[in-house]
Amino acid sequence: MLTHDSDAVQPSRIYIVEEGPNPSTDYFILPLVTRTHATVLRCSWSQLPAVDDLHGASVIFVRYVTAAWRALIEQTRHSLARLIYFMDDDLFDWRAAQGLTWRYRFKLLKRATWQRKWLLKMQPELWVSTPWLQQKYAQYKPRLVLPTPLGLANYCNELPNHADSANVEIKHSDEFLAKNCNVSKSATRDTKILARGHSSDSSHLVPLSKPHSPDIREATDPAKACVVFYHGTGSHQAEIEWLLPVIELVLSLNPNITFELIGNAKTQKLYGHLKRVKVIPQMKWPAYQDFIKQPGRHIGLAPMLDHPFNLARSYTKFFDIHRAGAAGIYAEQGPWQVFIEPGKQGVLVQMDVASWVSAILDLAAAQAQRASILKAASDTIHQLGHAARRQTFEQNAAHQECEATAQHQLIAFEKHPDQRNAH
């Protein structure tokens, strides 16, 4: 059905097709393609290049496909160097989304699930974000793409810190960039925003900002106040509702703990009776990157219910919690169990209310443990980043699969040193 990735000649241009700036592109796709010497162009659904511009180029669909892009690909499929479809949720199986909000389910159906037949016809390479997805769709020979921690990358066009990143060209369409990066709207609409070193014309270069680095002092603040947060999206509503009795009990037992949630109007109504719970309206991905870097958070939560949609989750929530400068409490059966040693890089907890209440109260009272977790998490993120950066855009599927397996084994051995002699 879908072809696996090839050893074709590297294209001169790579088009990333996305709804807008989003975590899927920034964690999985952008770090990979910016290690090429190609020009990388980020195109929204409404930004369609000319037919001639796609000759010899590669196109990567990130999660979703639109009618306009379908028509363009049908015209140009024969001239593309590579066509790639990437998914980081189980988007091909409508049953996986059962239980999610109707609005979100319809979006997945329209933009992804119902596009499967067309994708079969177009024969793209399939890229996936987790071993679970790779195994489920093994008949399509998918490529596993590991997420890269967001180090120096930000959404004012600062690229990952690679030696050859000066050769990369990024085209954005989101007006957020114009507002927050001192770039005029006409520049973001009509002008390609270039990375450093790519053009002698610096009039539209975007200023680079210093990234937030988690400060261990934030985790060891002697103040008694402790901020616990859970930042969910439209696909996390069940977890938001599940946390209600946990949060109610914690608030009743510790007057120094406050909670920060991201949610919709339903979340606002659900938690409106709790004075020490702040519900932040949902925001777009670029705005969230500024928001998460604001200091003052101590504990991040990552519950995960036994739901079909959660089976395909990656471990990027581990990265987000660390970027907030916080220690994490995680569902023990989540994807992070591969590299988290209980109590070291984070606290692993079974999904029952009493266990989560106890874990939050204990970690809120243990400032030194929070600092230790933050330091250990930093080391693990460095290892995960090293594994991800060994991937290349061109590498074939067999080599990539063996390499990824070896990297996960390395992380597992470092997590359990006593296992080394057993192999």
**DSSP string for 301-362:** EE---S-GGGGG--SHHHHHHHHTT-EEEEETTSGGGGTPPBTTTBEEE-SSHHHHHHHHHH
305 and 242 in contact (C-beta within 8 Å)?
yes
Residue 193 pLDDT greater than 90, yes or no: no
Most confident of the following: 206-215, 295-304, 390-399: 295-304
- Over residues 17-57, the pLDDT tens digits come to 999 999 999 999 999 998 888 899 999 999 999 999 999 99
| 3-state class (DSSP) for residue 211 | coil
Angle, alpha carbons 375-258-22 (nearest 5°): 65
Higher pLDDT, 168 or 128: 128
pLDDT value at residue 214: 54
pLDDT classification of 395: cutoffs 50, 70, 90: low
In b/e form, how buried is each residue of 242-280, taking b as 16+ CB within 10 angstroms? bbeebbbbbbeebeebbbbbbbbeebeebbeebeebebe
Helix then strand then coil, in percent of the chain rounded to 5, is 45, 15, 40
Residue 347 pLDDT greater than 70, yes or no: yes
pLDDT value at residue 86: 96
Q: Mean pLDDT of all residues in the chain? A: 79
pLDDT classification of 188: cutoffs 50, 70, 90: very low
Residue 262 pLDDT greater than 90, yes or no: yes
The model scores a pTM over 0.75: yes
Distance separating alpha carbons of residues 112 and 108, to the nearest angstrom: 5
- Closest listed residue to residue 248, CA positions, set 217, 275, 213: 275
Higher pLDDT, 416 or 350: 350
Distance separating alpha carbons of residues 236 and 243, to the nearest angstrom: 11
pLDDT value at residue 176: 31
pLDDT value at residue 9: 55
Higher pLDDT, 77 or 221: 77
Residue 170 pLDDT greater than 80, yes or no: no
Residue 229 pLDDT greater than 50, yes or no: yes
Q: What is the mean pLDDT of residues 176-180?
A: 34
Boundaries of every domain in the chain: 13-194, 216-379
pLDDT classification of 10: cutoffs 50, 70, 90: low
Residue 163 pLDDT greater than 70, yes or no: no
Residue 166 pLDDT greater than 70, yes or no: no
Residue 265 pLDDT greater than 80, yes or no: yes
Cα separation values, 72 from 47, 113, 366, Å? 11, 20, 57
- Over residues 382-394, the pLDDT tens digits come to 999 988 988 888 7
- Closest listed residue to residue 79, CA positions, set 48, 54, 113, 109: 54
What DSSP character marks residue 58?
Answer: E
pLDDT classification of 299: cutoffs 50, 70, 90: very high
Residues shown for the chain: 423
Distance separating alpha carbons of residues 223 and 144, to the nearest angstrom: 44
pLDDT value at residue 109: 82
Angle, alpha carbons 397-21-95 (nearest 5°): 60
CATH dotted code for 216-379: 3.40.50.2000
- Over residues 409-421, the pLDDT tens digits come to 445 545 554 443 4
DSSP line for 394-415: S--HHHHHHHHHHHHHHHHHHH
- Over residues 304-322, the pLDDT tens digits come to 999 888 899 999 999 999 9
| 3-state class (DSSP) for residue 423 | coil
